[in-house]
């Protein structure tokens, strides 16, 4: 497992409560919380690893951080995926 992976999956939630609930749900399914060494003092993301130790983040879109510049997610390169509409 890469210590600081550059590319991974981000899951977005609309609130801190939804973020916490989704993290708990995924942990109950076998994911593990990662002790991330680059968390800011008030991060908008939670880093988890799946059962194959691949990391992913749950990002709270509603997070407001006043004391630090925004930090979205733990990776160094962000890729945004747009869902393809169903026909």
Tokens 């593990």 locate to 32
Higher pLDDT, 65 or 76: 65
Q: What is residue 64's predicted lDDT score, i.e. its pLDDT?
A: 64
Q: In this model, does residue 15 exceed pLDDT 50?
A: yes
Instruction: pLDDT band for 5, please (50, 70, 90 cuts).
Output: low
- The one-character DSSP state at 37 is T
Q: In this model, does residue 28 exceed pLDDT 70?
A: yes
Q: Tokens for 73? A: 């997610």
Q: What is the pLDDT of residues 47-71, one digit of tens each?
A: 999 999 888 999 998 876 544 444 5
Higher pLDDT, 67 or 44: 44
Round to whole Å and give the CA distance between 15 and 22.
11
Does the domain made of 1-80 have the CATH classification 1.10.40.30?
A: no
Residue 7's closest CA among 83, 80, 84, 65? 80
Tokens 């060494």 locate to 37
Q: Is the pTM of this model over 0.75?
A: no
The pair phi, psi for residue 66, each rounded to 5°, is -95, -30
Residue 77's closest CA among 7, 3, 18? 7
Domain ranges of the chain: 1-80
């Amino acid at each position: 497992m890469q210590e600081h992976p550059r590319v991974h999956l981000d899951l977005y939630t609309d609130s801190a409560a939804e973020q916490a609930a989704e993290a708990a749900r995924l942990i109950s399914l076998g994911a593990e919380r990662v002790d991330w060494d680059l968390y800011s003092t008030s991060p908008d993301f939670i880093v988890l690893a799946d059962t194959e130790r691949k990391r992913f983040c749950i990002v709270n879109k509603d997070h407001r951080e006043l004391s630090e510049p925004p930090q979205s997610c733990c990776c160094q390169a962000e890729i945004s995926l747009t869902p393809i509409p169903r026909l």
